[in-house]
Chains A and B, each alone.
Chain A
Amino acid sequence: MDFEALTARLKTRFPEVEAQAAQAGDPVLRVPPARSLELLRALRETPEFGFDSLACLSGADTGKELWVVYHLHSFEHRHRLAVKVVLPREKPEVESVVKLWAGAEFFEREAYDLYGIVFKNHPVLRRLLLPFDWAGWPGRKDYVYPEEYQGVPLRREGQYTVEDVAKSVAAREARDKELQARVAAEKRGGAG
């Protein structure tokens, strides 16, 4: 089944889902967080859908909201589907799908580790990739890099940081603009 047929079949049971409009790439199905577990269970257990494989589960941060994106695949019917759940930044909570696909355990722990998305009813929700006493959610766009960790500084002496690079780029662009303005003024002064 292709995306349109899947969406049409799902809308009969879950009228809240909507297909996301995109200019490029794959089509994605958006579902509100309250009904995500039900929808995914239906996708897995209904024979006509039969999505028995979770290809990928990712967290994402657009700067305004947090996403959890499920990429599903069916070995039986050989079709694929991408399902996206959009979460508010202040309280990102969604139901865990570990009971449906055992492979989601590590994926959800990673999303929690990097983005702070809480998966309810996850058996072991703790940090996976970062040390257990790490502070903050590094995947988020507003993450501030720490100055040091356990006494070891983050930068080498004299190394530029991301902020230094941005400052020097901004300074150079300001200088260029000023130079161009001066050249234009001279040309106008010379011509006029």
Chain B
Amino acid sequence: MSDAVPVQAPEVPRVRSEEMVLSMGPHHPSTHGVLRLELTTDGEVVVSARPDIGYLHRAIEKIAEHLEYRQFMPYTDRVDYLCAMNSNHAYALAVEKLAGITVPPRAELIRVLMAELNRISSHLICLGALAMDMGAFTPFLHGIIHREKVNDLFESVCGARLTYNYLTLGGVAAELPPAFLDQCEAFSEYLPPQMQEFNDLITGNSIFQERLCKVGVVPPDRAVSHGLVGPNLRASGVRWDLRKHEPYSLYGQLEFDVPVGDGGDPKGSNPGGRLGDAFDRYVVRVKEVAESVKIVRQGVKRLRENDKLPESHEDRKIQAKTPLRLKPKPGEVYMRSENPRGETGYYIVSDGSEKPLRLKIRTGSFSALNCFEEITRGLLISDVVAVIGSFDIVLPEVDR
């Protein structure tokens, strides 16, 4: 006789998953600067990623209210140091619009040349850092080597490698050294095969594409509503480039294309992805480097023609006559220009004195963080890193 008692199956408790609040940053090797994300994760899946910024808030806008207009130029370098020439240019344009200063043609040419060289070097760091965040260290070293060549060019012009303070209100600070145009031309010949090597190395890599395609998709209408600008906006399919559509300086006379994202298009450069994903943002920047090389070549050609004029000619001046203590008439201006990270707008209010009443800097990375929470819902933690890198966020721009 068996004493076997029927064994009852034990009750399996229902599996619960708790959400975990994780603080990613402010010191983190992958956040580009001191950005803190409050991640609420359910296992590996992110439920919400809220950015917490202000770890680099240095009160640059308040400092502007204590300084004269020309004294503020070095601070614009520090707002976005990866493209300091462009940041200088944005501020100079705003003040010149407010005070009605006309910049001489040679200075405009030099400014455009510097701006495009700095756009190239800024994109090189961004692409390299994105690859490094994805785990590939070599493209970063490639990017830095090419960027060092641009640093050498800038160092020969103004003596600094990172924060140049080269533009002044009304022109540029110093004349170009004699061999500069030849070196620029040599750089524009040197870079395209190097970018081809860079592309062979990482852009077609299937692991890289797996990590970036269909990740962090920003639909075009949400991009416009959130105020995304620059390559982030163009990657979502909106063809908008301030150099082409609201031309300033000499961009109206130069020839270049505006690359736009085309995710999902089987004949495009992102066939496996979706419109507005991280890989689109990466590809748009790679194409923009090629366009900037075109502009550099045109700029060098025009500067060589300008060199043929006699030294005392009006068009050879590099600085317009501006009073040292600039006192613009009362009024306000909002002037925006195309930085590598998007639109950098300066809103300057003048009350007739030599110090601005209010100076506000509107930057592209600020809006990129604005839409961050919306588009990272449901992603994995490693995808969050990809999204940060693809937005090309630079924290001093966000915090000012």
Contacts and interface: CB of A to CB of B under 8 A. Distances in A.
B332 A26 contact: yes
Contacts of A54: 227
Interface stretch (A33-41, A88-96, A98-106): A98-106
A140 to B, nearest CB: 10
Contact of B367 (A26, A103, A127, A129): A103
B358 A60 contact: yes
B61 A139 contact: yes
Interface string B301-333: 000000000000000000000000000111111
Nearest to B51: A106
B27 interface: no
A103 B99 contact: no
Interface stretch (A1-9, A17-25, A174-182): A17-25
A92 to B, nearest CB: 15
Say which size band chain A's interface belongs to: 35 or more
A66 B48 CA distance: 34
Given A58-B358, A58-B360, A62-B357, A24 B328 contact: yes
Contact of B345 (A55, A62, A162): A55
A104 B362 CA distance: 12
B99 A24 contact: yes
B336 interface: yes
Contacts of A105: 370
B225 interface: yes
A102 B240 contact: no
Contact of B226 (A28, A69, A103, A129): A103
B334 A22 contact: no
B238 interface: yes
B332 A129 contact: no
A122 interface: no
Given A24-B98, A26-B332, A129 B66 contact: no
Given A23-B330, A71-B345, A139-B61, A103 B97 contact: no
A53 B242 CA distance: 14
A75 B399 CA distance: 27
A129 B97 contact: no
B334 A52 contact: no
Interface in A45-76: 52-56, 58, 60-62, 69, 71, 75
A138 B332 contact: no
A139 B359 CA distance: 11
B334 A129 contact: no
Contacts of A130: 54, 57
B51 to A, nearest CB: 9
B61 to A, nearest CB: 7
Indicate the member of B227, B366, B400 with the most A CB atoms within 10 Å: B227
B397 to A, nearest CB: 13
Given A22-B332, A24-B99, A129 B245 contact: no
Contact of A25 (B57, B332, B358): B332
A102 B226 contact: yes
B98 A129 contact: no
B22 interface: no
Contacts of A56: 334, 345, 347, 360, 362
Contacts of B328: 24
A104 B225 CA distance: 9
Contacts of B374: 102
A24 B227 contact: no
B52 to A, nearest CB: 9
Contacts of A129: 53-54, 57, 399-400
B227 A103 contact: yes
Given A22-B330, A26-B333, A106 B370 contact: yes
A13 interface: no
Contacts of B349: 60, 62
B37 to A, nearest CB: 14
A52 B333 contact: no
Given A24-B330, A106-B369, A138-B62, A58 B399 contact: no
Interface in B223-274: 224-228, 238, 240, 245
Contacts of B122: none
A61 B349 CA distance: 10
A102 B330 contact: no
A26 B350 contact: no
B204 interface: no
B28 interface: no
18 contacts: A23-B329, A24-B98, A24-B329, A25-B333, A56-B360, A60-B349, A62-B351, A75-B240, A82-B332, A101-B225, A101-B227, A102-B226, A102-B227, A106-B367, A106-B369, A114-B61, A129-B54, A130-B54
Given A24-B98, A71-B334, 13 more contacts: A24-B100, A24-B331, A55-B343, A56-B345, A56-B362, A60-B360, A69-B347, A71-B345, A75-B238, A102-B226, A103-B226, A105-B370, A106-B369
Closest 3 CB pairs of A and B: A103-B227, A25-B331, A24-B331
Interface of A: 22-26, 28, 52-56, 58, 60-62, 69, 71, 75, 78, 82, 101-107, 114, 127-131, 138-139, 141, 162
